[in-house]
Amino acid sequence: MTGFSPLQHEADGLSAGLPPLLVAADRLAASVSLGVHGRRRAGIGESFWQFRRYQNEDAARIDWRQSAKSQHLYVREREWEAAQTIWLWRDGGAGMDFSSHSVSKRERAELLLLALAALLIRGGERVGFLGGGERPAASRLALMRIAHALLDTKMQAHSLPPQTPIARGAGLVWLGDFLEPQALDTMRGLARAGISGHLVRIVDPAEEDFPYTGRARFESPQGRDEALFGRAESVGDSYRARFRAHGEEVVQTAMKLGWTVTSHRTDHAPLSALVALHAAIGGT
Amino acid sequence: MAGLFSQLSFGAPWVLAGLLVLPLLWWLLKVTPPQPRRIAFPPLRLLLGLKNEEQTPAHTPWWLLLLRLAAAALLISALAEPLLGRAPQVAGSGPLVLVIDNGWSAAKGWDERQGVIADLLRGAQDRPVAIVATAGNAPVSLLDAGAAVRAARELAPMPWAGDRMAAAARLARASFASPPQIFWLSDGVEDGVGRKFETALTKLGPLTIFTPRAAALGLLPPVRDGTGFQLTALRPGAKGARQTNVAAIGRNGEVLSDAPLIFKAGDARARAHIALPLEVRNQTARLEIRGEDSAGAVQLLDSGGVERRAGIVSAATSEGEQPLLSDVYYLERALAPFAEAQKGTISNLIARKVSVLFLADIGRVAGSDADKVKKFVTDGGVLVRFAGPRMTGGADELVPVPLRVGGRYLGSAMSWNAPQKLAAFPASSPFNGLVAPTEVTVTRQILAEPGAQLSERAWARLSDGTPLVTAQQMGQGWVILFHITASPAWSSLPLSGLYVDMLKRILALSAGTAAGDLAQLSSLAPISVLDGLGHSMAASAELLPIAAKDFARTEVSALHPPGLYGAQGVESALNILKAQDALLPLELGGAREYGDVHSIALEPWLLALGAGLLCLDALVALWLRGYLPALRLRSIAAAGLVLMLMPRGVHAQDTTSMQAALDTRLAYVVTGLPDVDAISRAGLTGLGYALKARTSYEPEDPIGVDVERTDLSLYPMLYWPMDPREKNLSPAAQSRIADYMRLGGTIVFDTRELTLGAVRGAGNPGDQTLRRITAGLDLPPLEPVSADHVLTKAFYILRSFPGRWDGGQLWAEALPPADKNGQSAPARGGDGVSPVIIGGNDWAAAWAVDASGRPMSDPVPGGDSQREMALRFGINLVMYALTGNYKTDQVHAPALLERLGK
């Protein structure tokens, strides 16, 4: 229990300043299940929302008690109470352990993930870690489960989300660097399955700025490939162009699928990323 | 510099040819590029296929090249065995004779002498060499170069004086093919035959003499003066002033005390006094001149001579008027070298824990004293009684043998016998080994009743066989009776040295030494001996014991090296220098000093330097490959910048301290978080306004203190808001805060619970921060502030302690429990001020005012009235920190006034 508590506390502290997060209502589909919080609009639910005039619909909906008080016919509307299911995933590949300064990409991704989960739970949404084997839930317990799943060594090595069946209409928040070649294909597959996604692209400043000079041998984190440069600064410009292009590609793909993308550099404050994410998911 | 190079010579100059390799090395290093840095890089896929525009290997940096070449050059020159300095010239071709003084006085500077010997042997090359040591007795033989070097290495200073004439005789017996060239490496000390020896050597061949610049010092036996040791040191000659130290060393080599020893110019002797209390004096095993490292600069102390506390009780009252007739005078004089003699009554001497109790002419020990003395003896004390006029009338039972009433007179007009002499001591007596001088006579004594035990209990007898000293073991202690007086009234024994020796052995008895061991002390076997450098070591089995009667006359020699002799616990020290000894300088014309001719081998230094450069090179190579992230140039530059800015920072801190010292100011802990610090500052400013308006304390602007750097002692109270972003304390800051709390400071921890989280309690971030930060601190036991705590009464009477929020618990140091019997006091306070006060109502936010004096926050739920209560609590807090438990005294004022009225 103690292994993840510092991270969880940090995440709690981070999310403390933001209002509870409700998933943007227009993304809701028929598959949503009944939840605890109202959506500030009429719909399926138990609490009273408003009386409105009867407009040529099913007569069974007329509230006769109210209609008897005046000349018009009224329909009792209830507030739409529904919770959205949000699945969370962070890239666990070896590349995420990279850090050019104090914070690695993986640490930052996990912090954001937990903070986001805390926000969603406070908003009454149901959250779960993709592939964690637990049903999504809207309690502090779910937060614990997610934190456990992050620590689980089995889940560490996977870069792409597992091929778990997800109900249509559920949301997915995917934090990672999307450098894996199959990442875009996986995205398309998920979108075809009716998932709406939010991508958070975690970027280390060194990856973006490429500050290396002199004789250097670059190795992939898995140690499979390597590239040797006599003067690393000479390839800097072409690399930066390629990196920008890769970022564009991710954004383009996501936009085509109707997904949102937030980019975050690990040398920036995590709160700014969380605020941006809050805005993207909350649809405000 | 040129002079330095002219003194440089090489032992193996051909190795220098290796320097020719350096250009080749330079070329090799230049074409081999350094290893690239290895960087793990996740977006490597994007790098693959990028055109490597410049593939030519990077050159080794010029400074690295220089470093490596310098290391190689140093190693090559080191192998060429360079020497700095002038080696002694050894000209001619005949055999070489080294006459070396290696008595104790040669120990000082022996290493330097070995260096000169090595230089001489190197100069001798293949010529045959004879080595003659004055403190040895090996016959002189000619050795080839290698054997001579080995023999010279084995040579060590000996702990006795050398015999130069014997060495000259040995040298004269040797036969040389041609007249030898002679070097005399003297120790600079005259032994009375220096001139003769020189003449004898000159007869054999050309002679060169070396003397040390500063010859050995010697230490004379110490004089005990009751407060410590009086020491006298000797030096040969009296040239110039010289200063060193003498030290008293304990049994395990620990330095107990030391004192400066100053030879004034023109003085051959220097005195010093080491003052030590008795207990420490008794632990002293040896006295030595520091830094001298020679057996002659050491004085071992007898361990049988451990000073005891001896009590003397005398019945006579005439002590002050006629000291030469009193028993006490003689006992004190005889005991002074070995014991601290005290006078007094029996009971108070026993209470002072004497180990030997002397009763001079006390016939009967009276009343309760008798029991005390009996207990003293059975517990291991030694009771020594002397006879006298009072004892002739009969004695109590605390005597070793039954006594006859009345004395025996010898040699007087009423007597038929001549004064008796002492017989030799019986073999079973602890006095065995002491010599009875023939001039000691006994004219009057008390007689023992004859009995079976008398013979075994008698430790000393007169020549006619009557016992003079009898003793009996009683419990763990001894009762010893001298059948004569302690003064010379009845015998001449107290005037002789034997009296002192006998008392010394009795004192050894009290040290726990078995009487049987003392009885075997007719010959003293060596226990430990000194080597030439003054270090103690166990005696080898080959050394012969010394007869006890000869011990005082024994001179230190190869047969009897200096050291401790005797039995364990009663060791007598044999030292090189005796009280009457003196040292004289060896004054010969044409002598050279050692320091002038010695050369320094540079090889080890160059090797070390070269190895150091290679290590540096390895570090640089690691750095170039990126394995030393800590050594980035940027951090080095930052460190340099910090160093440059440091003095200014210190100055700034001084002005802060000065501000704080000139006025009593409220202070808060700077957390480094701008928002939190701004609120703290605004809060204390607002509280300061309230204090100014309502109390006689008018604080200046508040000060923020950095607990990691600032001196905290100037602030009576520190306000410390908690925030999860705060860093943990460094160990230095922790100890500084602990000191602050211990010395009376008060820290107010504000966990700001509702500001930071939704609920109070252990899960609250403020609470967790508090626990994290104070984890290493030594907090006192805490308890909730009760309704009668002085904090509730210090200025206003308060029931709660609201801030921006209300409710919650306030904690302070636990008070001592209330007085159960007395009436309940309206206010309670401990001694002083609670070092910590912990609460979570975010007081600073409630107190905080902006620049125009308007409050900056809305207290919840009470609004303005709650702010007023928060300010009242703040005033109470400051009053409490400033005045302590003064209010608890105030509540007693009526009672005090009432008492004064009466």
CATH number at residue A203: 3.40.50
Which of B37, B54, B756 is the closest to A217 by Cβ?
A: B37
Q: Does residue A149 share a domain with residue A58? A: no
B497-510 and B327-335 helices, crossing angle to 10°: 70
- Closest C-alpha among B340, B243, B332 to residue B282: B340
Q: Is B207 helix (H, G, I), strand (E, B) or coil?
A: strand
Rounded to the nearest angstrom, the gap between the alpha carbon of residue A71 and the centroid of all alpha carbons in its chain is 50
Q: Which residues, other chains included, contact B158 with Cβ-Cβ below 8 Å and sequence gap of 6+?
A: B102, B103, B104, B135, B136, B532, B558
Give the residue, B778 or A247, on which the prediction is more confident. Answer: A247
Taking the C-alpha atoms of residue B209 and residue B575, their distance in angstroms, rounded to an integer, is 30
* pLDDT at residue number B96: 85
Which residue in chain B is spatially nearest to A95 when comparing CA positions?
Answer: B42
Let me know: does B293 contact B497? Beta carbons within 8 Å.
no
Which residue spans within B346-425 are E strands per DSSP? 356-360, 382-386, 403-409, 420-421
* DSSP result, B137-197: -PPP--B-HHHHHHHHHH----SS---HHHHHHHHHHS--SSPPEEEEE--SEE-S-HHHH
Give the residue, B870 or A228, on which the prediction is more confident. Answer: B870
Number of structural domains chain A divides into: 2
Inter-chain CB proximity B58 and A230 less than 8 Å: yes
Q: Is B578 on the interface with A (CB under 8 A)?
A: no
Q: Does residue A68 share a domain with residue A92? A: no
* pLDDT at residue number A284: 45
Determine the structural domain holding residue A40 and report its residue range.
36-81
Give per-residue pLDDT as tens, A102-156.
Answer: 888 888 888 888 888 888 887 777 888 887 777 788 777 888 888 888 777 665 6
Q: Does residue A196 share a domain with residue A65? A: no
Inter-chain CB proximity A98 and B41 less than 8 Å: yes
Q: Is B53 helix (H, G, I), strand (E, B) or coil?
A: coil
* pLDDT at residue number B516: 63
Which of A98, A219, A221 is the closest to B38 by Cβ?
A: A219
* Element containing residue B729 per DSSP (H, E): none
- Closest C-alpha among A221, A250, A234, A238 to residue A97: A221
Cβ count within 10 A of residue B318:
10
List residues of chain A with CB under 8 Å from any CB of chain B: 9-10, 12-13, 16, 94-96, 98, 105, 177, 179, 181, 204, 207, 212, 214-221, 225-231, 234-235, 238-239, 242-243, 246
Give per-residue pLDDT as tens, A30-75.
Answer: 333 444 455 566 666 666 778 888 888 888 888 899 899 988 999 8
Q: Does residue A177 share a domain with residue A112? A: yes
Which residue in chain A is spatially nearest to B60 when comparing CA positions?
Answer: A215
Q: Where in chain B is the domain with CATH 3.40.50.880?
A: 315-512
Q: Is B644 helix (H, G, I), strand (E, B) or coil?
A: helix
Give per-residue pLDDT as tens, A145-176.
Answer: 888 887 776 656 678 888 777 777 788 899 99
Q: Does residue A180 share a domain with residue A104? A: yes
Inter-chain CB proximity A16 and B756 less than 8 Å: yes
Q: Does residue A152 share a domain with residue A49? A: no
Q: Is B695 on the interface with A (CB under 8 A)?
A: no
Distance from CA of A119 to the nearest CA of B (A): 14
C-alpha dist (Å) from residue B408 to B260, B388, B458: 56, 12, 17
Q: Does residue A239 share a domain with residue A145? A: yes
Both tokens of B545, joined, read: 């014991």
Q: Which residues of B678-707 are buried (b: 16+ CB within 10 A; e: fewer)?
A: ebbbbbbbbbbebbeeeeebebeebbbbeb
Check if CATH label 3.40.50.410 holds for domain B96-215+586-598. yes
Q: Does residue A42 share a domain with residue A125? A: no
Let me know: does B425 contact B432? Beta carbons within 8 Å.
yes
Q: Does residue A174 share a domain with residue A260? A: yes
Inter-chain CB proximity B39 and A227 less than 8 Å: no
pLDDT at position A28 over 60: no
Q: Does residue A104 share a domain with residue A200? A: yes
Residue ranges of chain B whose pLDDT lies below 70: 1-7, 11, 33-34, 52-60, 85-91, 279, 303-308, 315-322, 410-416, 511-521, 568-570, 595-599, 625-654, 817-832, 902
Q: Is B317 helix (H, G, I), strand (E, B) or coil?
A: coil
Inter-chain CB proximity B765 and A96 less than 8 Å: no
Both tokens of B556, joined, read: 């230190």
Which residue in chain A is spatially nearest to B40 when comparing CA positions?
Answer: A219
Q: Does residue A214 share a domain with residue A158? A: yes
Give per-residue pLDDT as tens, B98-153.
Answer: 888 888 888 888 888 888 888 888 777 778 888 888 888 888 888 887 888 888 88
Inter-chain CB proximity B42 and A177 less than 8 Å: yes
Cβ count within 10 A of residue B826:
16
Backbone angles phi, psi at B185, to 5 degrees: -95, 90
* DSSP result, B431-449: TTT----TT-EE-EEEEEP
Taking the C-alpha atoms of residue A134 and residue A148, their distance in angstroms, rounded to an integer, is 11
* pLDDT at residue number B126: 77
Which chain A residues are within 8 Å of B48, Cβ to Cβ?
A: 225, 227
Which chain A residues are within 8 Å of B57, Cβ to Cβ?
A: 215, 230
* pLDDT at residue number B719: 92
Inter-chain CB proximity B42 and A220 less than 8 Å: yes
Q: Does residue A265 share a domain with residue A198? A: yes
Inter-chain CB proximity A246 and B46 less than 8 Å: yes
* DSSP result, B220-281: PPPEE-SSEEEEEEE-SS--S-EEEEEEEEETTS-EEEEEEEEEPTT-SEEEEEEE--HHHH
Q: Where in chain B is the domain with CATH 3.40.50.12140?
A: 663-890
Taking the C-alpha atoms of residue B749 and residue B720, their distance in angstroms, rounded to an integer, is 5
Q: Quote the longest CA-to-CA distance of chain A.
A: 89
Task: Show which of residues 54-73 on chain B sit within 8 Å of chain A, judged by CB atoms.
Answer: 54-58
Which chain A residues are within 8 Å of B44, Cβ to Cβ?
A: 218-220, 225-227
Q: Is the pTM of this model over 0.90?
A: no
**CB-count burial class (<10 Å; 0-12, 13-18, 19+) for A56:** exposed
- The fold for domain B315-512 equals Rossmann fold (3.40.50)
Cross-strand partners of B270: B233
Inter-chain CB proximity A230 and B37 less than 8 Å: no
Instruction: Establish, for the pair of chains A and B, how many residue pairs have beta carbons separated by less than 8 Å.
Output: 105
Let me know: does B115 contact B593? Beta carbons within 8 Å.
no
Inter-chain CB proximity B48 and A9 less than 8 Å: no
Inter-chain CB proximity A12 and B39 less than 8 Å: no
Taking the C-alpha atoms of residue B704 and residue B712, their distance in angstroms, rounded to an integer, is 11
Distance from CA of A8 to the nearest CA of B (A): 12
* pLDDT at residue number B875: 92
Let me know: does A16 contact A118? Beta carbons within 8 Å.
no
> Which of B38, B46, B722 has the most A C-beta neighbours within 10 Å, making it the best mutation to test the interface with A?
B46
Task: Please give the CATH number for the structural domain made up of B663-890.
Answer: 3.40.50.12140
* pLDDT at residue number A244: 92
